[in-house]
């Protein structure tokens, strides 16, 4: 379908623009609808070298959890009776504490209503917008890496991935030009900020401090960024940082819906957001060979009623 530009979408009641109803009143996929068989087939043609890059960070890597309300998984290995092998069990798994897709049930446009008019009761019952809808559909398409540290160097600006840095349309456009690509409808944008790679190199004392005063780079809290992403007509944005958007955000009602643009991207647009992905290896390879596009294959868990899932994602070049 031909998507309207941002400014041609109907106004949303509490600010910004709304994509509700664009794919039908009962839609629960949002912009994942753009990942059509034709686009998946086109993405497969981008695999030329046969090189694969896993994009999930190791389970339990973010320790202690960056959000202190979440926990880290616990792993137990169990000897089978008779000593011929082993089983194992994972518990205390918080999908939002590591590499994840946030479903359309994660954050609403407001505290009362979620994507396409779903209610909190719809979410709690699993009737609407939960992650297994994406798992059933599939999340495969053309992936495009936007290398934000490279963009900041090109713009002559200092950059520290362990601080709050906001990327607006100018920075995103610079990264797109470095990648040498034009956006195509249904792209999965990979926002490489360097945060997860930076985190992996930090000593324990830094890691223990972060949950108390977390600072992380990401998308700017502005309508211009929402307009830019909508007009790119991407299906999803996944990042190697804490929230895709810069952190801290302003989650207060007075700042809505742009103080915390999850409300716009997830709640209004129906856009898939991925957080805390491992993008360093892929970014280094893209810088070496100059190819910033490929086929992204993600297999979320078919978890009925799930709010998030590990992406189980691979980028193929």
- Answer yes or no: are the C-beta atoms of 255 and 248 closer than 8 Å: no
Question: What distances in angstroms separate CA 70 from CA 61, 66, 117, 250, 315, one per listed residue?
Answer: 13, 8, 28, 20, 28
**Cross-sheet strand order for the sheet of 188-192:** 52-54, 313-316, 293-298, 139-147, 188-192, 236-239, 272-275, 100-102, 308-309
Q: Phi and psi for 272 in degrees, rounded to 5? A: -75, 130
Per-residue DSSP letters for the chain? --PPPGGGSPBPTTSSB--TTTT-TT--SGGGGG--HHHHHHHHTT--S--EEE-BPPTT-SSS-SSTTS---EEEEEEPTTSS-EEEEEES--GGGSSEEE-TTSS-SSSS--GGG--HHHHHHT-SS-THHHHHH-EEEEEEEEEHHHHHHHTT----TTS--EE-HHHHHHHHHHHT----TT-EEEEE-SHHHHHHT--HHHHHHGGGS--B-EE-SSHHHHHHHHHHT-SEEEESSSSSB-BS---SGGGTTTSSTHIIIIIIT--EEEESB--HHHHHHHHHH---EEEEEE-----TT-SEE---EEEE-
At residue 82, the pLDDT reads 84
**Percent of the chain with pLDDT strictly greater than 70:** 100
Burial class (CB in 10 A: 0-12, 13-18, 19+), 184: middle
Mind listing the pLDDT tens digit for each residue in 163-178?
Answer: 999 999 999 999 999 9
Share the mean pLDDT of the chain: 97
- Answer yes or no: are the C-beta atoms of 45 and 142 closer than 8 Å: no
Q: Are strands 293-298 and 139-147 parallel, antiparallel or unpaired?
A: antiparallel
Of the candidates 128, 140, 183, the one whose C-alpha atom is nearest the C-alpha of residue 297 is 140
At residue 115, the pLDDT reads 98
pLDDT band at 153 (very low <50, low <70, confident <90, very high): very high
pTM beyond cutoff 0.95: yes
pLDDT band at 87 (very low <50, low <70, confident <90, very high): very high
Q: Are strands 313-316 and 52-54 parallel, antiparallel or unpaired?
A: antiparallel
Mind listing the pLDDT tens digit for each residue in 26-84?
Answer: 999 999 999 999 999 999 999 999 999 999 999 999 999 999 999 999 999 999 888 88
| Span 246-256, average pLDDT | 96
At residue 81, the pLDDT reads 86
């Amino acid at each position: 379908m031909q998507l309207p530009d941002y400014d041609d979408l109907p106004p949303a009641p509490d600010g910004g623009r709304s994509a509700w109803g664009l794919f039908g009143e009962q839609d629960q996929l949002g912009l994942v609808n753009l990942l059509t068989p034709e686009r998946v087939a086109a993405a497969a043609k981008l695999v030329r070298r046969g090189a694969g890059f896993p994009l999930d960070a190791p389970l339990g890597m973010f320790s202690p959890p960056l959000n202190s309300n979440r926990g880290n998984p616990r792993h137990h290995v169990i000897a089978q009776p008779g000593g011929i092998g082993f089983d194992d069990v994972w518990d205390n798994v918080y999908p939002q504490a590591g590499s994840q897709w946030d479903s359309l049930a994660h954050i609403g446009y407001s505290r009362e209503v979620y994507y396409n008019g779903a209610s909190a009761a719809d979410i709690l019952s699993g009737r609407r917008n939960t992650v297994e809808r994406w798992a059933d559909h599939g999340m495969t398409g053309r992936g495009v890496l936007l290398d934000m540290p490279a963009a900041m160097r090109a713009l002559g600006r200092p950059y520290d991935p362990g601080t709050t840095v906001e990327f607006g349309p100018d920075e995103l456009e610079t990264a797109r030009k470095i990648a040498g690509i034009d956006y195509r409808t249904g792209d999965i944008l990979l926002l490489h900020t360097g945060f997860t790679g930076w985190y992996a190199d930090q000593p324990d004392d830094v890691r223990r401090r972060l949950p108390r005063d977390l600072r992380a780079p990401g998308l700017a809290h502005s309508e211009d960024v929402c307009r830019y992403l909508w007009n790119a007509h991407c299906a999803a944005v996944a990042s190697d940082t804490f929230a895709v958007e810069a952190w801290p955000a302003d989650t207060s009602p007075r700042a809505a819906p742009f103080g915390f643009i999850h409300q716009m991207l997830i709640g209004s647009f129906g856009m898939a957001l991925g957080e805390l992905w491992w993008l360093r290896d892929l970014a280094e390879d893209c810088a070496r060979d100059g190819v910033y596009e490929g086929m992204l294959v993600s297999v979320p868990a078919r978890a009925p009623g799930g709010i998030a899932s590990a992406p189980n994602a691979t980028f193929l070049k």
